[in-house]
Amino acid sequence: MTSKPQFAGRSLFDLDDYSREEIMFILEAAKGMKEINLREYKKIPTLKGKTVCTLFIENSTRTRMSFELAANRLSADVVSFQSSISSLQKGESLQDTVYTLNAMGIDLYCIRHSSPGSPQLVNKYSGKPVINGGDGRHSHPTQALLDIFSIWEKLGDIKGLKITIVGDILNSRVVRSNLIGMGKLGAKVTVCGPKTLMPSNMESVYDCRVEYDLQRALKDADVVMGLRMQLERMTEGLFPSLEEYSKHYVLSKETLKYAKKNALIMHPGPMNRGVEILPEIADSNQSVIVEQVANGVAVRMALMFLILGGKA
């Protein structure tokens, strides 16, 4: 008999840190939280008296709102730190910023930062648990958890599912965390994109298959996830034009013929419609893109609840 997973006081830097059983436990907890989000009065007093800080050094309105909504629904106090109006713009270091925030009695940090490893630094300087809301191109574990939750909710057991992720693999933190999480749950993941947008050694770093040809990648896929072309992270010419990219890698009715009929369509957003995915697919019945957003709140509520040791 396995013991109940312990989450209190732990950080979530990436899904590496959590076992398969712990991931499943989070998904189960998120299921309960999703039910709360469907009520007329969407609030429970679980984290009353706790303070959550959303420390967003990199802009992201959607993810920040998702974290803040999650904390609010659990009745935690929320303070929001945004770098565009912060002391960091005046030259203060992350270390000093965290010391200052810590002095105000923060219990949990949810951080978004362009530097890989910055959540670990916040944890080191604060001594408080940290949920990584995306660090550079490194990881985005809450996105991966909500992606996995969305698949689990629709298709059940992840084990053995064929999942294809298409797009800018090189610059995606989402794909890195998903590969870890989906791998732990036994999915067979294929990543696909042009060679210039594919990191080296993918197959040896992750348990995945690499394909440069979209048709081959999509063959018999149960789940198809498009990824945004992260133009802001591309400093050099890695592909000739969005038009050419789209011709070869867009998710369309035509290309999705190779996947399983009714394959689940996903995208972490924001989408470049017409570039990586056509509207006919993004808005189709197979798509769970909008549900992914809703599930994000539930998953983050579950994590906050478990990490801050909330009592049900």
Partner 1 sequence: MKTLIKNANIFTQGKFIKGDIFIERKKIAKIGGTITVNADKTIDAKGACVLPGFIDLHSHLRDPGQTYKEDIVTGTLAAAHGGYTAVCAMPNTEPVTDNIASVEYIQLRAKDYGYARVYVVGAITKKLAGEEIAEMATMKAGGIVAVSDDGKCVQNARLMLSCMKYASNFDLPVIIHPEDYSLAGKGQIHSGKVATKLGLSSIPGLAEEVIIARDIMLAENTGAQLHIAHISTARSLELVKNAKDKGLPVTCEVTPHHLVLNEEANLTFDTNTKMKPPLRSEKDRLACVQALKEGLIDCIATDHAPHADFEKEKEFDIAPFGIIGLETAFPVLYKNLVQTGKISLNRLIEALTIAPAKILNLPGGVLAEGKIADLTIIDLEQETLFSVENILSKSKNTPWLNQFLPGRVMFTICNGNITYKDSESE
Q: Residues in the site for partner 1, rule: CB under 8 A?
A: 93-95, 113-118, 120-121, 135-139, 173, 176, 199-202, 204-205, 235-236
Residue closer to partner 1, measured from CB, 50 or 137: 137
Q: Round to whole Å and give the CA distance between 221 and 28.
A: 25
CB of 85 to partner 1, least distance (A): 20
Q: Give the nearer residue to partner 1 in terms of CB position, either 138 or 162.
A: 138
What are the phi and psi torsion angles at 113 (to 5°)? -150, 150
**Please, which residue, 234 or 294, has the CB nearer to partner 1?**
234
* Location of structure tokens 């906050």: 304
Q: Least separation, in Å, of the C-beta of 111 and partner 1?
A: 11
Please, are residues 163 and 175 in contact by the beta-carbon 8 Å criterion?
A: no
Q: How far is the CA of 226 from the CAs of 130, 272, 292, in angstroms?
A: 28, 10, 13
Alpha carbons 43 and 226: distance in angstroms, whole number: 33
Cβ-based nearer residue to partner 1, 199 or 309? 199
Q: How far is the CB of 189 from partner 1 (least distance, A)?
A: 15
- The residues, any chain, with a CB within 8 Å of residue 82's CB and separated by 6 or more, are 56, 59, 64
The least distance separating partner 1 from the CB of residue 41, rounded to whole angstroms, comes to 40
Q: Rg for the chain (alpha carbons), in Å?
A: 19
Residue 48 vs 195, nearer CB to partner 1:
195
* CB neighbour list of residue 117: distance below 8 Å, 6 or more residues apart: 135, 138
CB of residue 135 to partner 1, shortest distance in Å: 8
